[in-house]
């Protein structure tokens, strides 16, 4: 029943990127050695760790904020929870998961440092469980930290909050940021690289790569090789990323999760909406998507606002299930922006 | 690398299921029903189906030419054209089928905006209009197991259908097995209950049809038939006769589930199924015609936006439950604060509203009346 | 000035025949037409009834309406329009003796429809009696055109006859149902909109841009 079930099941297609080890792309020029601190890792104080994160320039890949600002502002209080985000519920993307699997010691060290600052009552790593095409078991513990397996349908990120006791604070930080924090503390390294999944049906050697920030998509694809001319190159996740036209100019940043090359663009049909209502059932926020799309095409912004279009998170589940291949999600996001502009101008 | 790049919007992976696969699933599910009617009535049934499908496609092509739209490869007119003959007897003249198709396409589908925006089920309206115009042709069923001439006037033996004998409270001459296998006379495609149900289950498994609609229609309908029997025999037999006569099972799987005219959410589908069961039952219990299902479906199609709105309102309340609870709490606190004060506040508010409205309106009216009287008296004086 | 205004008023009232048709564009008495107007004779009878109701009520409203108190106005209009059903009954009786019986409740529903009750008290009171009479004539002419066309179409397609005389073999008797009445009215409204679009188009689009469309 649609009142209880939300979201969609996706074919995850994470193999073979997940089990293969991470490929490191050499930097073209060496950074000069940085000396952040002389104190050994075990004796670092909370203030020193925040300073370390600031000097190393670590960016949290889960939301694009600076890690040191996040750590400084966070006030967990008593019984707060620290969640390490390694969910990766989008198909193909496995950059955060591969860190948990291939570099667990470093990750554990980073989490330990983060715990020192925040002193939470509970810490866990969140990972997505429904990877049916891989027979690889998700470890139940990384270091001394428990792994919480988030099940259910895409999008899973909102379901993370279920495990937090009511009335308590929580902080979510990305797994890659933890890894960089550990590197900064142990090896005095600045954050100059990011973890990117290179995948797709025309990639010869699909795997997770660690590339310098600012590498172009073309170079990354050349590194892994292409078997065929792709019709679509996507920067970011397969559900929320954007298609690019100039791979030689588009660069990856700290929040980029993947570079995906697909042989066939999914194409558009000339069919109209037949009103099957699958988008309504797929919406994780239980919005009436089918009706809202009609309002958006008619330009009825007031009705859209009444139907809570501002709650749309842009997960793309409605577009995924649409049998007429209508770009429902894009239409709604556009309408959401229009409403924001109209509100600023005071016309709505 | 960049020669073939194309633009596409955000989710870059899409479900393999599309409109074409869903519609072809429905087409595939209609085939066995035609084969069964071929077995019972001969080749005329197949020719009727081809005729209906061809004319529906032709009419929608003509419509898109008239509206100067690009013709879209679309399977929905074929489905409409295949469903219409299945609701009629096998010896129906061709012009009846063709006029039903014309009504379905030109009256129900195209004026409302073509595929995806029709208000009513095209097949149901087409069938109902034809049934009212030529009831003596549409409700005269030939006996089964005889080959009917493909062209020309049919000379087939006529038999009394179970639905007709039920309508005046007589027990049909057939046993339950006859009804299940379809050897009782009736509409061409709706008598073979076993085949129809198997095709319906195929559609449900293929997810072309949501299981909630047929179940929420058939179960309440069966309960109603058990509660208010029309004929005097064992309750199981009466239930079987009621369920298997007419187009109840066929309609539940193939017509009630039409995506365009049914509510979008499962809860709305549940409500629509239950209420259409009640309406169909009332139509068949009190109505004189045998077309209870089609007319009830037309009535219920009007209400599907209402069911959608009900679902949306419930979900809207769920989404804003925090703010709603907060307002309730503040209201209660206000009442608790001090009963007297609150009463006083309300009273003063009422006084204010009264005092705001009172002085304005009467004064204006008085002025208007005065003016008009003066003008008129002035005119009279001039005259 | 006054003469010009009056001219404009007459011109505007002419619009009620086509571009502001009371049934097809303003959507006023759709229900009565869809249900009752099944033959040409019914259409004519309904049009005569409407004419006899509308004109006297509008003239009465513009002449005496202002002097009546608010609470009495609408009652007076309703009583007058209901009283006008009596002459309509006798006049329509000359068409066919049983026509008013076959129409059932629909002439009576015309008497309490929008124009005699609301339009009279909102607009006709501010007009001169002569203009109100012309307005009433034009409104009932617009109504009559629609009713006669609809009745003729439904009689022809339903039983193949016109004014009771058999013309052709046709038996699509479903058009006599109210459902089909509504559908046919919708088609007629669509045709009016289409014609209005065609008339308007040359004014709105400059000559050069037509090719681009």
Chain C nearest CA to B132, separation (Å)? 6
pLDDT at position B359 is: 42
A204 in contact with B, Cβ within 8 Å: no
Q: Which of B111, B124, B133 is the best substitution to test chain C (most C C-beta atoms within 10 A)? A: B133
Three-class SS state of B79 = helix
Asked if the Cβ–Cβ distance from B107 to C172 is below 8 Å, we say no
- Mean pLDDT along residues A23-45: 72
- Tally helices (H) and strands (E) across chain C: 11, 2
pLDDT for B342: 54
Mean pLDDT throughout B155-170?
82
Q: Which stretches of chain B sit within 8 Å of chain A by CB?
A: 1-15, 17-19, 21-22, 70, 72, 74, 76, 114-117, 212, 259-267, 308, 311-312, 315-316, 318-319
Q: What is the pLDDT of residues B286-313, one digit of tens each?
A: 876 667 888 899 999 999 999 999 999 9
Question: What pLDDT digit, counting tens, does each position of C45-89 carry?
Answer: 999 999 999 899 989 888 888 888 888 888 888 899 999 999 988
Q: Give the pLDDT band (50/70/90) at residue B246.
A: confident
**Which class in CATH covers the domain with range B19-317?**
mainly alpha
Task: Kindly list the domain boundaries of chain B, sorted by start residue.
Answer: 19-317
User: pLDDT-based confidence at A144, cuts 50/70/90?
Assistant: confident
Does residue B11 surpass a pLDDT of 90?
no
Touching pair B, A by Cβ (3+ pairs < 8 Å): yes
pLDDT band of A255, cuts 50, 70, 90: confident
The pLDDT of residue B344: 59
- Tell me the pLDDT band of C204, cut-offs 50, 70 and 90: low
CA distance A179 to A86: 12
pLDDT surpasses 50 at A301: yes
pLDDT bracket for residue B153 (50, 70, 90): confident
Q: What is the rounded average pLDDT of the residues B123-140?
A: 89
β-strand A207-212 against A193-199: which pairing, if any? antiparallel
Mean pLDDT for A236-253 is 87
Whether chain B has a CB inside 8 Å of the CB on C157: the answer is no
Give the H/E segment covering residue B260. none
**What residues of A are in contact with residue B74 (Cβ under 8 Å)?**
271
Q: pLDDT over 90 for what percent of chain A?
A: 9
Q: Which residue has the tokens 């229009």?
A: A338
Distance, in Å, from the CA atom of A126 to the CA atom of A112, rounded to the nearest integer, reads 16
Q: Name the CATH architecture for the domain at A23-187.
A: 3-Layer(aba) Sandwich (3.40)
Query: Are C174 and B111 within 8 A, CB to CB?
Result: no
**Cβ within 8 Å, pair C177-B130:** no
Per-residue confidence band for B271, with pLDDT thresholds at 50, 70 and 90: very high
Parse chain C into domains and list their residue ranges. 12-203
* C187 lies within 8 A of chain B by CB: yes
According to the model, what pLDDT value does residue C202 have?
63
Q: Which of A247, A319, A325 sits opposite B2 (nearest CB)?
A: A247
Q: Do B1 and A314 make contact, defined as CB atoms within 8 angstroms?
A: no
How far is A112 from A105, CA to CA, in rounded Å?
Answer: 11
Q: Is the pLDDT of residue B382 over 60?
A: no
In sequence order, the 6+-apart residues with CB closer than 8 A to the CB of A284 are: A6, A7, A153, A155, A158, A313, A315, A317
Angle at B345 between CA B339 and CA B348, to 5 degrees: 140
- The complex's ipTM works out to 0.84
Is the preceding peptide bond at A16 cis, omega within 30 degrees of 0?
A: yes
- C187 has pLDDT over 60: yes
Most confident of B283-297, B312-326, C6-20: B312-326
Average pLDDT over residues B365-371: 40
- Provide, as residue numbers in chain B, all residues whose Cβ is less than 8 Å from the Cβ of A204: none
Listed range (C83-87, C99-103, C119-123) with the worst mean pLDDT: C119-123
What mean pLDDT do residues A89-114 have?
Answer: 88
The answer to whether residue C83 neighbours chain B at the CB level (below 8 Å) is: no
pLDDT at B355: 43
Q: Which CATH class is domain A193-262?
A: alpha beta
Task: Give the model's confidence band at B356: pLDDT under 50 very low, under 70 low, under 90 confident, else very high.
Answer: very low
Residue C8, pLDDT score:
80
**Which subunits have 3 or more CB–CB pairs within 8 Å of chain B?**
A, C
Q: How many CB atoms lie within 10 A of CB B93?
A: 15
Residue window 117-146, chain B: list those with CB within 8 Å of chain C. 128-130, 132-134
Reply yes or no on whether the pLDDT at B218 is more than 60: yes
Q: Which of A286, A289, A314 to mutate to test the interface with B (most CBs of B within 10 A)?
A: A286
Checking if the pLDDT of B182 tops 80, the result is yes
Contacts of B310 in chain A (CB under 8 A): none
Query: Among residues of chain C, what percentage have pLDDT more than 70?
Result: 92
């Amino acid at each position: 029943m649609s009142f209880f079930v939300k979201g969609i099941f996706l074919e995850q297609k994470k193999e073979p990127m997940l089990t293969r080890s991470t490929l490191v792309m050499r930097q073209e020029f060496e950074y000069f050695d940085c000396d952040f601190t002389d104190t050994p890792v075990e004796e670092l104080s909370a203030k020193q760790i925040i300073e370390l994160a600031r000097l190393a320039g670590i960016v949290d890949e889960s939301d694009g904020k600076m890690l040191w600002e996040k750590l400084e502002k966070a006030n967990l209080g008593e019984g707060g929870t620290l969640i390490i985000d390694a969910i990766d519920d989008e198909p193909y993307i496995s950059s955060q998961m591969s860190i948990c699997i291939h570099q667990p010691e470093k990750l554990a060290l980073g989490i330990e440092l983060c715990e020192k600052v925040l002193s939470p009552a509970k810490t866990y790593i969140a990972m997505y469980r429904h990877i049916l095409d891989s027979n690889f078991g998700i470890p139940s513990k990384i270091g001394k930290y428990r792994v919480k397996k988030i099940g259910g349908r895409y999008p899973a990120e909102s379901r993370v909050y279920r495990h937090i006791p009511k009335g308590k604070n929580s902080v979510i930080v990305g797994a890659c940021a933890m890894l960089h924090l550990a590197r900064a503390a142990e090896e005095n390294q600045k954050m100059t690289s990011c973890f990117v999944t290179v995948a797709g049906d025309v990639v010869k050697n699909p795997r997770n790569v660690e590339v310098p920030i600012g590498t172009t998509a073309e170079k990354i694809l050349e590194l892994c090789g292409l078997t065929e001319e792709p019709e679509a190159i996507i920067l970011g996740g397969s559900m929320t990323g954007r298609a690019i036209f100039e791979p030689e100019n588009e660069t990856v940043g700290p929040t980029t999760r993947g570079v995906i090359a697909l042989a066939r663009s999914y194409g558009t049909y000339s069919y109209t909406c037949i009103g099957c209502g699958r988008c309504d059932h797929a919406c994780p926020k239980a919005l009436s998507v089918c009706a809202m799309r009609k309002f958006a095409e008619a330009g009825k912004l007031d009705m859209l606002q009444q139907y809570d279009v501002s709650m749309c998170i842009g997960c793309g589940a409605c577009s995924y299930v649409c049998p007429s291949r209508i770009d429902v999600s894009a239409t709604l996001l556009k309408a959401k922006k229009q409403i924001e502009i109209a509100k600023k101008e005071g016309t709505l | 690398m960049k020669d073939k790049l194309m633009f596409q919007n955000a989710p870059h992976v899409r479900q393999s299921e599309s409109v074409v696969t869903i519609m072809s699933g429905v087409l595939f599910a209609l085939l066995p029903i035609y084969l069964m009617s071929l077995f019972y009535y001969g080749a005329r049934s197949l020719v009727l189906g081809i005729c209906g499908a061809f004319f529906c496609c032709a009419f929608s092509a003509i419509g898109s030419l008239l509206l100067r739209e690009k013709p879209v490869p679309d399977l929905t007119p074929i489905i409409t054209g295949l469903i219409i003959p299945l609701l009629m007897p096998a010896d129906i003249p061709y012009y009846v089928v063709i006029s039903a198709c014309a009504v379905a396409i030109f009256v129900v589908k195209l004026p409302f905006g073509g595929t995806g925006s029709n208000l009513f089920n095209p097949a149901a309206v087409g069938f109902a209009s034809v049934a009212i115009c030529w009831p003596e042709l549409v409700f005269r069923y030939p006996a089964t197991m005889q080959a009917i001439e493909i062209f020309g006037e049919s000379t087939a033996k006529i038999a009394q259908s179970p639905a007709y004998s039920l309508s005046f409270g007589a027990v049909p001459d057939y046993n339950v097995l006859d009804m299940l296998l379809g050897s009782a006379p009736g509409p061409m495609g709706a008598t073979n209950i076993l085949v129809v149900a198997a095709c319906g289950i195929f559609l449900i498994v293929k997810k072309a049809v949501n299981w909630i609609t047929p179940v929420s229609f058939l179960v309440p309908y069966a309960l109603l038939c058990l509660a208010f029997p029309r004929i005097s025999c064992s309750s199981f037999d009466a239930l079987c006769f009621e369920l298997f006569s007419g187009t109840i099972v066929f309609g539940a799987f193939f017509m009630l589930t039409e995506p365009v005219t049914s509510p979008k959410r499962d809860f709305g589908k549940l409500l629509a199924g239950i209420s259409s069961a009640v309406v169909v039952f009332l139509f068949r219990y009190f109505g004189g015609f045998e077309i209870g299902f089609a007319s009830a479906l037309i009535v219920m199609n009007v209400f599907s936006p209402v069911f959608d709105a009900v679902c949306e309102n419930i979900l809207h309340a769920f989404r804003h439950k925090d703010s709603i609870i907060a307002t309730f709490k503040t209201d209660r606190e206000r009442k608790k604060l001090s009963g007297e004060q609150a009463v006083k506040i309300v009273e003063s508010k009422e006084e204010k509203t009264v005092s705001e409205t009172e002085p304005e309106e009467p004064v204006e009216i008085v002025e208007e009346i005065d003016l008009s009287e003066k003008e008129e008296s002035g005119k009279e004086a001039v005259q | 000035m006054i003469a010009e205004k009056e001219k404009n008023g007459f011109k505007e009232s002419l619009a009620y025949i086509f571009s502001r048709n009371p049934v097809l564009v303003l959507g006023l008495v759709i229900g009565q037409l869809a249900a009752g107007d099944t033959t040409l004779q019914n259409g004519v009878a309904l049009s005569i009834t409407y004419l006899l109701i509308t004109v006297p009520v509008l003239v009465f409203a513009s002449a005496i309406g202002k002097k009546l108190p608010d609470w009495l106005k609408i009652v007076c209009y309703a009583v007058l329009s209901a009283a006008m059903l009596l002459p309509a009954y006798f006049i329509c009786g000359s068409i066919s003796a049983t026509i008013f019986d076959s129409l059932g409740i629909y002439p009576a529903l015309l008497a309490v429809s929008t124009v005699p009750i609301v339009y009279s008290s909102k607009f006709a009171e501010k007009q001169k009696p002569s203009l109100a009479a012309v307005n009433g004539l034009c409104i009932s002419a617009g109504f009559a055109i629609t009713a006669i066309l609809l009745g003729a179409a439904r009689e022809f397609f339903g039983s193949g006859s016109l004014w009771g005389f058999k013309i052709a073999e046709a038996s699509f008797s479903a058009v006599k149902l109210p459902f089909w009445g509504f559908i046919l009215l919708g088609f007629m409204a669509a045709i009016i909109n289409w014609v209005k679009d065609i008339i308007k188009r040359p004014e709105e689009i400059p000559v050069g841009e037509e090719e681009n469309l």
